[in-house]
Structure 1
Amino acid sequence: MLIFIKLILAHLIGDFILQPIKWVVHKQSHKIASKYLYIHVILHFALYMLFLWDLSLWKIALIITIGHYFIDLLKLYTDSLFKKKSIPFFIDQALHIVLIYCCVFYDNLFEHTLTLFRNLDWSLITAIVFVTYPASIIMGVILEGMSNQIETDHKSLPNAGKYIGIIERLFVLIFIVIGRWEVIGLLIAAKSVFRFNDLKERNNRKLTEYILIGTLVSFGLAILSGLLYIS
């Protein structure tokens, strides 16, 4: 597992810290002919060897480097197929992690993967999934009658409220799991401070009540999920 962590760290440094925007743009425009693609790949190999600090593991580092090259090529030539650029980005990163995982645990890949899945905390995973999109949909149903009476703010970012709610519920769930209930109060206070000026300027009682109810329902669902998990 230590080797896997070291290689992931090397990958993060090579892909995010030691890769200037200039390289990324050049690779996107020149693709396989980009000199920075090969500099990037060689840099990764050097980082893998540096973090492994064991010459006997050079084959693993080389295989991962070659795989990294082809994964990057795949992303460069399929980027245009996606409207949302975040999709190929996350697919690319997932493939890199899977490649590293397979290379590190190649001798007992099936057994290790099976053990990994058996040891997953499925109750926690269920709670995490619930507080994301399912909770958002439940809130939408609960607040449907009220939302029709609120004027839409066209200046707001698309789906901003939904994503804020998901993030805050995840935070609440984490704090309950680790037993830090007091931080939840700070989270509510912080959200109230950010919302105060906005609500004060609009002087809209319906909007204020709608946001307050939505916040309480959101936190309530997260707290309920956390209590069910720890019980």
Structure 2
Amino acid sequence: MMLFTKLLLAHLIGDFLLQPKRWVVHKEANKVKSKYLYLHVLLHAGLMFLLLWDFSYWKTILVITVSHYFLDLGKLYANPKFKNKTIPFFVDQLLHVLVLYACVYYENLYEHTLSLTSLIDWPLVTAVVFVSYPTAIIMGIVLEGMSNRIEVDHKSLPNAGKYIGIIERLFVLTFIILGRWEAIGLLITAKSVFRFNDLKESNNRKLTEYILIGTLLSFGMAIIAGIIYVGFHQ
């Protein structure tokens, strides 16, 4: 586990802390001809050697370095084909982590992976998934008739409300699992403070009622999911 942790740390440092924006821009513009692509890959190799400080792992580091080069190169050529740049980014990061995992546990990869899957808390996974997009869709359907009657005189970020709702429900679920019900009250208070100016300036009773219903519905569904999960484990 320590080997995987150190390799992951090297990856995080190399990909995020020690990769300037100009390197990224240069790589995206020049792709395979970019000098920073090779410098970036060599930096990763150096970080792995530095953190492991054991040259007996040179084969592992070589495999990871070569795979990192081809994965980064593949992402550079795939990027222009995606409107949503987060997709190739997260796929690339996932593949990097899978390569690290495979290199560390290659001797008993199947057995180790099977043991990890047996540790998954499936009720928790179900609760987390439920309070994310499924709840957002359910709320959209329930509130659809009301939202059509609301006149909004200000612009907001696309899907900002949906993502805020998902994040707040994840917080609520976490607080319930940890038994910190008072933190939910603080979360509601914080959201009310942020919303106060919008509601005050709009002076729109329908908007106020719509936001209040949406907030209570969002928190309520997260609380129900949390109570069911906690009850499942009692």
Q: TM-score, length-normalised on structure 2?
A: 0.96
TM-superposition CA deviations, 1:114-162 (whole Å, max 9, x none): 1111110000000000000000111112212211211145511111111
Cα distance in 1 for residues equivalent to 2:153 and 2:137 = 20
Structure 2 partner of 1:38: 38
Runs of 5+ consecutive residues of structure 2 not aligned to the other structure? none
| Aligned equivalents of 2:117, 2:154: Cα separation in 1 | 44
Q: CA–CA distance in 2 between the matches of 1:166 and 1:119?
A: 25
Aligned equivalent of 1:180: 180
CA distance in 1, matches of 2:178, 2:7: 29
Report the more deviating stretch, 36-45 or 150-159. Answer: 150-159
* Equivalent residue number for residue 113 of structure 2: 113
Which amino acid is 2:36 matched to?
Y
User: Mapping of 1:28-67 within 5 angstroms?
Assistant: 28-67=28-67
Q: CA offset at residue 39 of structure 1?
A: 0.6
* Structure 2 match to 1:190: 190
Counterparts of 2:128 and 2:26 in 1: how far apart (Å)? 39
In 2, Cα distance between equivalents of 1:183 and 1:129: 22
Residue correspondence of structure 1 range 3-152 to structure 2 within 5 A: 3-152=3-152
The secondary structure found in structure 1 opposite 2:179 is: coil
> Does residue 204 in structure 1 map to residue 204 in structure 2?
yes
Q: Distance in 2 between matches of 1:226 and 1:151?
A: 34
Query: Structure 1 residues 125-134 or 143-152, which shifts more?
Result: 143-152
Cα deviation code 1:144-198 (max 9, x no counterpart): 2211211145511111111100010011111111221111111100000000001
Corresponding residue of 1:222: 222
Q: 1:46 deviation in Å?
A: 0.7
Identity among equivalent pairs (%): 68
CA distance in 1, matches of 2:26, 2:108: 39
* Rounded Cα–Cα distance in structure 2 between residues aligned with 1:109 and 1:228: 35
For 1:115 and 1:217, locate their aligned partners in 2 and report how far apart those are by CA, in whole Å.
38
Mapped to 1, the partners of 2:151 and 2:53 lie a distance apart of: 61
Instruction: Provide the C-alpha distance between the structure 1 equivalents of 2:201 and 2:120, rounded to a whole number of angstroms.
Output: 48
Whole-angstrom CA distance in 1 between matches of 2:153 and 2:146: 15
Number of equivalent positions: 231
Q: 1:109 to 1:198 in 2, by over 3 A?
A: same
- CA distance in 2 between counterparts of 1:42 and 1:32 reads 15
Give me the whole-angstrom Cα distance separating, in 2, the residues matched to 1:210 and 1:225: 23
Provide the rounded CA distance (Å) in 1 between the counterparts of 2:175 and 2:55. Answer: 43
Q: After the TM superposition, which residues 153-168 of structure 1 pair with which residues of structure 2 at under 5 Å, given as runs? A: 153=153, 155-168=155-168
